[in-house]
Amino acid sequence: MDFKPCVNINKELDIVGARQLGRTRAKELGFGTVDQARIATAISELARNIYLYAGKGKVCFEVIDQLDKQGLKVVASDEGPGIRDISQVMQDGYSTSGGLGAGLPGVKRLMDHFEIHSEWGKGTEIQAIKWVR
Amino acid sequence: MKAIKLDLDNYRKLLKEYLLTKDERALYQAEQFSKLSVQHNISPEEIIHVHIEALKELYPELPREINDSLNFLLEAMISYGLALQENHFLREKQLALESEIAVAANMQKTLLSTVKPCIKGLDIGAISVPANQMNGDYYHFVTDKDDTLGIALADVIGKGIPAALAMSMIKYSMDSFPENQREPSVILESLNRVVERNVDPSMFITMFYGLYNPEHETFSYASAGHEPGFYYHAAKGTFEEIKAKGLVLGATEHANYQQFVSHIRTGDCIILLTDGVTECRLGDRFVERDEFLQVIKDYIHLPAQDAVEGVYKYFERLQDFHLRDDFTLIIIRKEV
C-alpha cells in the first residue's frame, strides 16, 4: 500500500488534513462508518491538542498487521511544553468542564488502545490504535 | 406490549411500521428503544448508524444526498456519544463518593454520639440536623455523680466535611480534660488552646458551655462567640437573651472567658442553639428574631423533646425541606 505516513500540524487547517488522511486510511482498512467517524474525531482531538498547546507537531499513521487482526495506529507527537500532570488530564471532566471538547479520556474511549508519554519541557507522544471489527 | 429488543431487526421493524402507519404506538416504542439504549450505554452515533442501515434495507434506492446527509449527522453526534459515556462514568464515581461520605457520616455519628441524660427535675430536649451529610454542629451532655449537668454546644463556621473533622477534635479534647475541670470558663480556655494550635486560622469555632447545678438551682455559663441562647420566663411568657461575651475559639493563643451565673426558677427554660436556627432563611431574607421567638413560644408548652422537634419541623417546612446550615436546638426546662 502506498502510504504517506504523516501530516504536519502547524495551523488549524492541518487538523482537517490529518482527519482526511486518517479517514482515507481507515476506509482502506475496511472500518465501518461509525468507526471511521470515531477515528476521525480522535485524530481531531489529538491534532487540536498539538495546535493549541504545542503550536506544532505531527500526526502519523501506521497499519498494524497481526495474525488475527488488523488495525490503524495514530501517533501524535510534538516537542511542546509537555504535560505536567498526566493523571489530571486523563481524568473525566477535566477538559470537558472547560469546554475544550472530548479531551484525552475521549480519545481513549474512541480508540481501542491508548498510550501516552510526556515529559515536562520536552514534549508529548500519544499512540492510539483502533482494530478493524 | 412486548419488551423492546435492542437490535437492528427490531429498529427496522419499528421504523417500517412507523413509515407505513404513522402510528403513535411505533413512536412510543421508539421512545422505549431510546431509553433502553441510554441504559445500555449505546451512543447516539450507533443509533444513527442503525437507522441508516435500516433505511438502506427498506429503500435500496436511497438518494445519495440523503445517505450522505445521514453520515454527516452521524459524524456530528460523536461528541454527544462521548459526553454520554463520560457522564455515565462520572455518575458512577459520584455514587461511589456518596457512599464513602455516608460511611464517614455514620462514623461521625458514632464518634460524636451523646446520651441525653435523665436528670431528676429537668426535662431535656435536643435535636441536631446537618445541612449536608456531615454535621458541623456538636452538642454534648456531661453528667456527674453530684447530678450536675454540663452542656457543650459548638458550631464550626462553615459546614460539610472540614467542619465535621474539626468537631471530632473538640469532642476528643473535651474527653481528655480531667473530670474535675467543670467550670465553663476553664473548659473554653483549654479548648481555645487546642483549637489555636491545631486548626487552620481561617476556620472558626464558636462554643457555649453551661453547667447546671441542681442543688443551688444555678446555671453557670461562658461563651466563645457563640450564638446567644434564650432564657424563657414561664410566668411572664417572655424571653431574655442569655448574654455572654467571648472570642471565638482559636482566634488568639490565650483567651479569657467570663463566666456568668443565673438562677433558674421552676418552669423556666434554657434555650440553646446554633446560628443554623436563627439564620433560617425565607427566600432571600433571614427569619426575624421576633418571628423566631414566636415559633419557640408556640411549641414551648410541649415536653422538651417534642418542642425541639416541633420547632425543627416548622423551620424545615418553612425552608422547603432544604437546610442551608446545620441546625441544633436544645431546650432544658426546670420542672421542680
* B71's grid cell: 453520515
Q: What is the 8-class DSSP label of residue A50?
A: I
B282 and B154 in a common domain: yes
- Pick from B16-20, B162-166, B170-174, B221-225: least confident: B162-166
Q: For residue B83, what is the nearest residue in chain A, using CA coordinates?
A: A102
Judge whether residue B57 has pLDDT over 50. Answer: yes
B196 and B74 in a common domain: no
A107-126 pLDDT, tens per residue?
Answer: 999 999 999 999 999 999 99
- Does residue B242 lie within any of the structural domains? yes
B151 and B273 in a common domain: yes
CATH of domain A6-131: 3.30.565.10
List, in sequence order, the alpha helices (H) in A31-129: 33-49, 86-89, 103-110
- Does residue B188 lie within any of the structural domains? yes
How many angstroms separate the CA atoms of A112 and A71, rounded?
10
B254-272 pLDDT, tens per residue?
Answer: 899 999 999 999 999 999 9
pLDDT for residue B1: 45
Backbone angles phi, psi at B313, to 5 degrees: -60, -35
The helix, strand and coil proportions of chain B, stated in percent and rounded to the nearest 5, come to 45, 20, 35
Backbone angles phi, psi at B210, to 5 degrees: -130, 150
Average pLDDT, chain B: 88
The residue assigned the cell 474511549 is A109
Interface pTM, i.e. ipTM = 0.82
* A51's grid cell: 495546535
How many angstroms separate the CA atoms of B326 and B112, rounded?
15
pLDDT for residue A102: 67
Give the CATH number of the domain where residue B211 resides.
3.60.40.10
The last residue of one of the domains, among B42, B60, B95, is: B95
Mean pLDDT (whole number) for B223-252: 92
Question: Is A110 within 8 Å of B86 when comparing Cβ atoms?
Answer: no
Q: Chain A within 8 Å of B75 (Cβ-Cβ)?
A: yes
The last residue of one of the domains, among B95, B122, B137, is: B95
Work out the minimum CA distance from B74 to partner chain A, whole angstroms. Answer: 7
Report yes or no: A52 and A11 within 8 Å, Cβ to Cβ.
no
Q: Chain A within 8 Å of B93 (Cβ-Cβ)?
A: yes
- Does residue B200 lie within any of the structural domains? yes
How many angstroms separate the CA atoms of A63 and B86, rounded?
29
- Does residue B234 lie within any of the structural domains? yes
Q: Which residues of A touch B90 (CB under 8 A)?
A: 92-93
Give the residue among B248, B259, B244 at the shortest CA–CA distance from B196: B248
B163 and B266 in a common domain: yes
Give the CATH number of the domain where residue B20 resides.
1.10.1240.30
Q: Which of A33, A34, A92 sits opposite B89 (nearest CB)?
A: A92
Confidence of residue B139 (pLDDT cuts 50, 70, 90): very high
- Does residue B3 lie within any of the structural domains? no
The number of folded domains in chain B is 2
- Pick from B80-84, B161-165, B194-198, B324-328: least confident: B161-165
B243 and B207 in a common domain: yes
* B327's grid cell: 441546625
pLDDT for residue B4: 57
B46 and B20 in a common domain: yes
B179 and B320 in a common domain: yes
* B75's grid cell: 459524524
* B316's grid cell: 424545615
The dihedral built from the CA positions of residue B61, B62, B65 and B68, taken in this order, carries a sign that is: negative
Q: What percent of chain B has pLDDT over 70?
A: 97
User: Residue B81: helix, strand or coil by DSSP?
Assistant: helix
- Does residue B102 lie within any of the structural domains? no
Q: Which of B9-13, B41-45, B72-76, B154-158: highest mean pLDDT?
A: B72-76
For chain B, positions 180-209, list CB contacts with chain A under 8 A. Answer: none
**Chain centroid to CA B186: how far?**
31
Give the residue among B246, B234, B231, B229 at the shortest CA–CA distance from B195: B246
Q: Alpha carbon of B173 to those of B78, B192, B193: distances in Å?
A: 57, 10, 10
Length of chain B: 336
Look up the domain containing B264 and give its range.
Answer: 112-334
B76 and B144 in a common domain: no
How many angstroms separate the CA atoms of B111 and B127, rounded?
17
Report yes or no: B233 and B166 within 8 Å, Cβ to Cβ.
no
B124 and B44 in a common domain: no
B130 and B78 in a common domain: no
The residue ranges of chain A whose pLDDT is under 70 are 1-4, 95-102
B117 and B83 in a common domain: no
User: Residue B119: helix, strand or coil by DSSP?
Assistant: coil
B124 and B87 in a common domain: no
- Does residue B252 lie within any of the structural domains? yes
Residues 6+ apart with CB under 8 A from B253: B193, B196
Q: Alpha carbon of B18 to those of B30, B72, B77, B196: distances in Å?
A: 10, 23, 23, 73
- Does residue B2 lie within any of the structural domains? no
Question: Is B90 within 8 Å of A92 when comparing Cβ atoms?
Answer: yes
pLDDT for residue B99: 92
Domain positions in chain A are 6-131
Report yes or no: A82 and A120 within 8 Å, Cβ to Cβ.
yes
